[in-house]
Amino acid sequence: MSGLEDTNRMTYGNYLRLDDMLSLQEGPIGYSPKPCNDELHFIIVHQAFELWFKLVLSELKEVHELMDKEHIEEGSMPKIVHHLKRVSSVFNLMSQQWKVMETLTPQDFLSFRDRLGTSSGFESWQLRQIETILGLEQQQREAGMDPLKHMERLAKEGKISKDVLVDFQARINSPSLCDLLDNWLSRTPINASLSTDLDDEKVVVQYVENHLQAMSNHSESVIEHILSIGHGDESSIRPRMEKSISGARSFLIQDGKVNRSRAGLLFIESYRDLPLLSWPRTLIDSFVELEQALLLFRNSHARMVERMIGRRMGTGGSSGVDYLDATLKYRIFVDLWTVRTILVRRDLLPEVANPSYYEFNSQ
């Protein structure tokens, strides 16, 4: 090899395609004048976010593949949790990244804001894909916000590739992670009964009724305690307690039929210390953590925007901060949040039937 250069040698810049990547911060083709330092900063921060979105999407697609099964293999659980945790870490990191954006002053931003025209983060199809794969329902979105319509328009205008639109349509028409989680929860063994067992329905109804009874007993002790310390009168406290129990009943039983996914979720959350439930509860925790990270990310974006443009309208035509604040109400994994309201103190829980079923089996 002596004297000859190895032109095939892999280099850092080669591997990362740095030349290509670092040539993409000049604004759209023919953009004139070239971005000033503040605008360059604005572009780089956006691109960094979009790169993270790309990673998040790839992680979520992996999770989707692992969960889109009739029977999720035990061995897949650690992998699923691992991918979800990476997504939460990225969102937590992105929440901090708005700080970099905030080094731009409102006046500096105004100096080039008009150049953005009507372009806006609104059009970030990667974030829309993330929301869709997770399972954000159209009816939950703020009025007028329809990502599919928006993307169809962009595709018609030639502003996004056909592939992006086709991919998005396919995602909308396939089960979301929220649906897949729901299916998986519906197969939870409840009091050692499997959803395929002949008398499963009877066992699950009994389980739900016992839980509601435990809630009711708990309420009585709370009422007794509040009255004994003179912190209110029965006529105002009792209806509130009864309302929460009837809320729990309608969460668990709809049209006279027990919702097995919710009952399974309640079972896992209530008896989360049982060895066999350790991966299921970790999986649920990972989804909760992820949604919380997404909300904090949305919130810190909204606070940055408020600091930057006050109550101005957004370049995408929305009301701006008011719109962004309204998105903080979005909840994708609604049941995972709701179940927290109906949990009962450990010592008041009904005994698990056949607890040995939930021990690790070394055989």
Q: Contacting ligand HEM (CB under 6 A), which of 134, 136, 308, 344?
A: 308
Report how many residues bind ligand HEM under the rule CB under 6 A.
24
Helix (H) / strand (E) containing 258: strand 257-258
Query: Which CB sits closer to ligand HEM, 49 or 251?
Result: 49
Distances (CA, A) of 260 to 4, 130, 202, 255, 349: 70, 27, 12, 13, 19
Interface with ligand HEM (CB under 6 A), residue from 40, 44, 45, 77: 45
Where helices occur in 273-349 by DSSP H, the ranges are: 278-309, 321-326, 334-338
Task: Considering only the stretches 18-26, 212-220, 303-311, 348-356, report the one whose residues sit in contact with ligand HEM under the rule CB under 6 A.
Answer: 303-311
Residues listed for the chain: 363
Contact call for residue 35 and ligand HEM (CB under 6 A) = no
Least gap, CB of 289 to ligand HEM (angstroms)? 20
The residue among 7 and 37 lying less far from ligand HEM, judged by its C-beta, is 37
Look at residues 345, 189, 214 and name the one whose alpha carbon lies nearest to residue 267. 189
Q: Which of 121, 175, 350, 355 binds ligand HEM (CB under 6 A)?
A: 121
The span from the CA of 227 to the CA of 221, in Å, is 10
Q: Which of 39, 49, 189, 191 binds ligand HEM (CB under 6 A)?
A: 49
State which of residues 185, 318, 332, 344 lies at the interface with ligand HEM (CB under 6 A): 318
Residue 126's closest CA among 164, 170, 178? 164
Least distance CB 346 / ligand HEM (angstroms): 39
134 binds ligand HEM (CB under 6 A): no
Q: Residue 225: phi, psi to the nearest 5?
A: -65, -45
- In terms of CB distance, is 151 or 180 closer to ligand HEM? 151
Among 120, 174, 254, 341, binds ligand HEM (CB under 6 A): 120
Binding residue for ligand HEM, selected from 60, 178, 208, 324, defined by CB under 6 A: 324
Stretch that binds ligand HEM, among 150-158, 239-247, 322-330, 352-360 (CB under 6 A): 322-330
Query: Cis ω on the peptide bond leading into residue 355 (within 30° of 0)?
Result: no
Of residues 90-119, those binding ligand HEM (CB under 6 A) = 101, 109
Question: Could you give the CA distance from residue 140 to residue 118 in angstroms, rounded to a whole number?
Answer: 25
Nearer to ligand HEM, 84 or 305 (CB): 305
Q: Least separation, in Å, of the C-beta of 287 and ligand HEM?
A: 19
The strand pairing partners of 253, in sequence order, are 258
Assess 327 for contact with ligand HEM (CB under 6 A). yes
Cα separation, 252 vs 210, whole angstroms: 12
- A 10 A CB-CB count for 289 gives 18
- Do 320 and 309 contact (CB within 8 A), yes or no? yes
Question: What gap in Å lies between CA 134 and CA 128, rounded to an integer?
Answer: 10
- Going by C-alpha positions, the residue among 104, 127, 116 that lies closest to residue 51 is 127
Q: Write out the residues near ligand HEM by the rule CB under 6 A.
A: 45-46, 49-50, 101, 109, 120-122, 124, 127, 301, 305, 308-309, 314-318, 320, 323-324, 327
